[in-house]
């Protein structure tokens, strides 16, 4: 089945109405459209791979079960992000801290890199830098990790992040500033500046 990704401006309401009328296959369009967003939130907050997969599935189950409560007062992506964020917080409240071995995972797509014109040395350097950044981001408090992900990876605005995390926009700006500053200090503490430039 060839699925289309949702055009957020016009078809979202139509797809949601179709799902609410019993068209369960249309929910796959929602999953395809928002799985990357959910993935980013869950993977920034949760370290254990098995837990991550379960939580991503749980998020979409909750989205499906609560779809009738969505009032179109905010962006649909913000609503889904909030469900993902709260699901992760609930999971973290029940679990003990994860071991560092669970934290660092490489997501490099080697096939794509090898097909490109990038030199092998650049590929290794890029992977090493990504590994170092991931390692240091993993040391940040969960709130800071989530903020960096929502803002830099998912492109949410301060207001949208505030809606997801239930915080005022000014607090989001302040936390994001602190998260960047904290990350920079970790990088400077653990690596020579020329290593991360």
Nearest to 133 by CA among 52, 197, 41, 178: 197
Residue-level pLDDT at 140: 85
Residues 78, 129 within the same domain: no
Residues 68, 114 within the same domain: no
CATH number for position 74 = 1.10.1740.10
When pLDDT is averaged across residues 78-95 and rounded to a whole number, the result is 86
Residues 133, 160 within the same domain: yes
Residues 79, 165 within the same domain: no
CA distance linking residue 120 with residue 4, whole number of Å: 36
In a domain, 8, yes or no: yes
Residues 43, 70 within the same domain: yes
Residues 65, 144 within the same domain: no
Under 8 Å between Cβ of 16 and 34: no
Range of the domain at 144: 108-197
How do residues 31-67 score in pLDDT, each as one tens digit? 999 999 999 889 888 878 888 899 999 999 999 999 9
Which single residue is written with the structure tokens 């909030």? 82
As given in the structure block, the two tokens for residue 174 are 């302040």
Decide which of 172 and 108 is more confident.
Answer: 172
Nearest to 63 by CA among 93, 40, 86: 86
pLDDT(84) > 90: yes
Phi and psi based region of residue 18 (left: phi greater than 0; alpha: psi -120 to 50; beta: remaining): alpha
Handedness of CA 105, 111, 112, 115 (dihedral sign): positive
How do residues 137-173 score in pLDDT, each as one tens digit? 778 888 888 888 888 877 888 988 888 888 899 999 9
Give the pLDDT band of residue 117 (cuts 50, 70, 90): low
Nearest to 38 by CA among 93, 77, 7: 77
56 φ, ψ (degrees, to nearest 5)? -60, -45
Query: pTM of the predicted model, to two decimals?
Result: 0.63
In a domain, 103, yes or no: no
pLDDT(13) > 90: no
Residues 89, 120 within the same domain: no
Could you please report the per-residue DSSP string of the chain? Answer: --PPPP-TTTHHHHHHHHHHTT-GGGHHHHHHHHHHHHHHHHHHH---HHHHHHHHHHHHHHHHHHGGG--SSS-HHHHHHHHHHHHHHHHHHHSPPPPHHHH------HHHHHHSS--HHHHHHHHHHHHHHHHHHTTS-HHHHHHHIIIIIS---HHHHHHHHT--HHHHHHHHHHHHHHHHHHHHHHS-HHHH-
Q: How many domains, the chain? A: 2
pLDDT(191) > 80: no
């Amino acid at each position: 089945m060839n699925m289309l990704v949702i055009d957020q401006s016009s078809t979202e309401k139509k797809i949601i109405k179709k799902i609410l009328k019993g068209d369960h296959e249309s929910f796959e369009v929602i999953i395809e459209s928002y799985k990357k967003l959910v993935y980013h939130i869950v993977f920034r907050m949760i370290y254990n791979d098995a837990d991550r997969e379960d939580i991503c599935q749980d998020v979409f189950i909750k989205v499906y079960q609560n779809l009738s409560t969505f009032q179109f007062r905010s962006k649909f992506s913000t609503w889904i992000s909030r469900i993902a964020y709260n699901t992760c917080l609930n999971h973290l409240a029940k679990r003990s801290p994860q071991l560092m071995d669970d934290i660092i995972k490489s997501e490099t797509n080697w096939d794509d890199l090898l097909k490109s014109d990038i030199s092998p040395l650049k590929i290794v350097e890029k992977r090493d830098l990504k590994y170092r950044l991931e390692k240091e981001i993993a040391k940040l408090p969960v709130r800071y990790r989530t903020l960096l992900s929502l803002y830099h990876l998912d492109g949410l605005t301060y207001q949208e992040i505030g809606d997801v995390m239930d915080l005022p926009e000014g607090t989001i700006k302040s936390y994001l500033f602190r998260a960047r500053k904290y990350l920079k200090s970790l990088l400077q503490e653990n690596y020579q500046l020329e290593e991360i430039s």
